[in-house]
Amino acid sequence: MNSKMLIYILKRLFLAVLTIIIVITITFFAMNAIPGGPFLSEKSTSATIIKNLEKKYGLDQPLIVQYFKYLGGSLRFDFGPSIKQKGFEVTDLILTGFKTSIKVGGLAALLAIVSGIFLGCIAAVKHNKILDKIIMVTSTASVAVPSFIISALLLYVFCVKLNWFPANGSTWQGYILPIITLSLYPMAYITRLTRSSTLDVLGSDYIRTARAKGVSPVKVLFKHALRNSLTPVITYAGPMFAYIICGSLVVEKLFAIPGLGTSFISAITGRDYPLIMGTTIFLTIIVIAMVLISDILYKVANPRIELE
């Protein structure tokens, strides 16, 4: 690793930490500005009980004191105890749900990358032919339709009508439809990226030279063209993975998968403020980390890119 790359990474890490602090600050004060409180419920609760609960969780202290305590704890990845799930730390709840979410999101990301690159290459090779048009129309439709609509359609067709898959994550078959749902949008986007970049590369001088020398079309595509055409895909891969994890919140709830999304939505409906804030910060860290990794890999894949 040269000094320029090291300086670039250190600068990005500093900006990443600064961004996380800003997100923690906004999240903390936004949650405290919401009317009501975490101990409100349909059942009447006496003022004495509410006062004791606020003292237990440190909510009776001045807001600025609460903020600095929370900021220090968050930077140590300690978000305190859950208000609604007694005896559980927020960090433990997040990591437990994330173990499921990372499995679903990882498989969806892998499916999206492999399928998107494959379809994009086919569309580029069959440019302006019927197969290219079918792939482009399908990818455009996949980008346009929201994931919750796709989830509902897949549930209705394959779970209710055909009864091929369970409607929840009780078995491994129950994870197939959520993985497909989460992969459709990024797969369509990667298909379009790969097609566009591959067409540009296939029209370059060195590709024409390789063809003139009699190099087979398969070797031209996979040995010469594909590496350079995948640079935009590498740039998109990091944010894509973060999108899949964040986008799985609704999908996990619809398919009853016990992941981070189900826990987050339950926290919102139950006014579990520490869990809401902790999950928000955790997802922010994932987004920042994935963007940083993709930028570094972009430089590795294409050394000619100047770092700024």
SS3 string of 40-98?
Answer: CCCCCCCHHHHHHHHHHCCCCCCHHHHHHHHHHHHHCCCCCECCCCCCCEHHHHHHHHH
Q: Rounded to two decimals, what is the model's pTM?
A: 0.77
Nearest to residue 261, comparing CAs of 105, 79, 92, 81? 105
Q: What confidence score (pLDDT) does residue 22 get?
A: 92
Q: What confidence score (pLDDT) does residue 43 get?
A: 56
Token pair listed for 151: 């989830």
Q: What confidence score (pLDDT) does residue 240 get?
A: 82
Nearest to residue 159, comparing CAs of 140, 176, 145? 176
Higher-confidence residue: 147 or 18? 18
pLDDT in tens, 73-120: 888 888 888 887 777 888 888 888 888 888 888 888 899 988 988 888
The answer to whether the CB of 116 falls within 8 A of the CB of 189 is yes
pLDDT in tens, 193-209: 888 887 777 767 666 67
d(CA 272, CA 179): 28
- CA angle (138 as vertex; 137, 144 as ends), nearest 5: 90
pLDDT in tens, 288-298: 888 888 777 77
d(CA 17, CA 284): 11
